[in-house]
Amino acid sequence: MSLISIQQAIVDGFKAALPALQTCERHGGRFDAGELNRISRRVPALFVASLNIGDVRSGHDGLSCDVTYGAFLITKDQPGQSRDLVSLALLDAALKTVADNRWGLDAAETLPANISASNLYGANIDRQAVAMWGITWRQRMNAGSGVDDSELADFLTFHADYDVAPGVDDNPIATDHVALPQE
């Protein structure tokens, strides 16, 4: 099992436990204002990221490590409910999902520990008209012998939209779409 497949199992666990989510997927880490603007169109949303890996040990069955995970919950106002109430309801369900969860994995060597949630409200988030909570926990995982190449998608194309004024008009000024050479 790899860290990628472990993280995907966590995403799948949240998807099953919180069917009200419009978006639930892996994420690379923390958010900036431009990215928050883009993803705020697909809320309520939850994004799972690996934030830190420590106490890495190599054993007979591969790498074992303590992983700090973050689950970022983002909501907007709903008809008849403010975003802060929507986020608290989903936060309650998300915290219950994390507690005592091995995500259906033998690779989970321990239950989640040091579970905490932080309200990430701030001026930038308020300007986006969203509420955002970050849940973190630490869990010892056995990553086995690493990534199996079959888990990685072929890097066939590169696509980028260049928006010089994100949040103003949401229209990119240029787009690149490049087919990459394959061996």
Instruction: Name the residue with tokens 């709903």.
Output: 78
Better-predicted residue by pLDDT, 60 or 51:
51
pLDDT of residue 169: 67
* Residue 71 near residue 153, CB atoms below 8 Å: no
* Residue 98 near residue 135, CB atoms below 8 Å: yes
> Which residues lie below 8 Å from residue 171, measured CB to CB, with a gap of 6+?
163
> Which residues lie below 8 Å from residue 21, measured CB to CB, with a gap of 6+?
14, 15, 44, 45, 46, 90
Q: What is the pLDDT of residues 84-125, one digit of tens each?
A: 999 999 999 999 999 999 999 999 999 999 999 999 988 877
Whole-angstrom distance, CA of residue 48 vs CA of residue 50: 7
What is the model's pTM? 0.76
The share of the chain scoring above pLDDT 70, in percent, equals 90
Other Cβ atoms closer than 10 A to 78? 13
Structural domains for the chain: 3-146 (3.30.2000.10)
